[in-house]
Amino acid sequence: MKRIMLILSTASDSPKAEDFAMDLARKECASLFVLFILDSKIPESILQKLTDIGFLGGKPSEQLTQAIMKDYRQSAYRRLQEIKEKATRFSIPCEIYLEKGEFVSESIRFIKKYSIDLCILTKKRGSLLSRIIHKSVVDDLINLRPCPIQIIED
């Protein structure tokens, strides 16, 4: 049976990519694997921005960092449960995973571990200048080509 993986993260969660993955899994009689990656750098980035604008003074507490990550984890888990329930309604075999780590390395680890045939990712459109200056982690994964990759632009 073909194995399709939809990879979501705190920065890229797209109903359009979800619908594409579901439709394809149904047409191909494939199993759907959904991986949600909690970027371990997100709390640090948020706290840095809050400090830069003067909302926080000094070094933020570890409790605040943990609270941000806990909120992201809970939101991600709810999202995964919604996708699993939808897949079940369409009789699509579906496994969900929630991991914390770096996007590219976690994606590759799961692609190899589960012998994924096709990976579906979402990528936000940005201006040409933005794309030149800020290379995307999606681009990094595409360049490594661990398996065929379908990009759904959002």
Residue 56's Cβ-count burial label (10 Å; 0-12, 13-18, 19+) is middle
Is the pLDDT reported for residue 86 higher than 80?
yes
Q: What is the pLDDT of residue 99?
A: 93
% of the chain exceeding 90 in pLDDT? 45
Q: What is the mean pLDDT of the chain?
A: 82
| Alpha-helical regions (H) of 59-102 | 62-89
% of the chain exceeding 70 in pLDDT? 75
Q: What is the pLDDT of residue 68?
A: 78
CB distance 100 to 65 below 8 Å: no
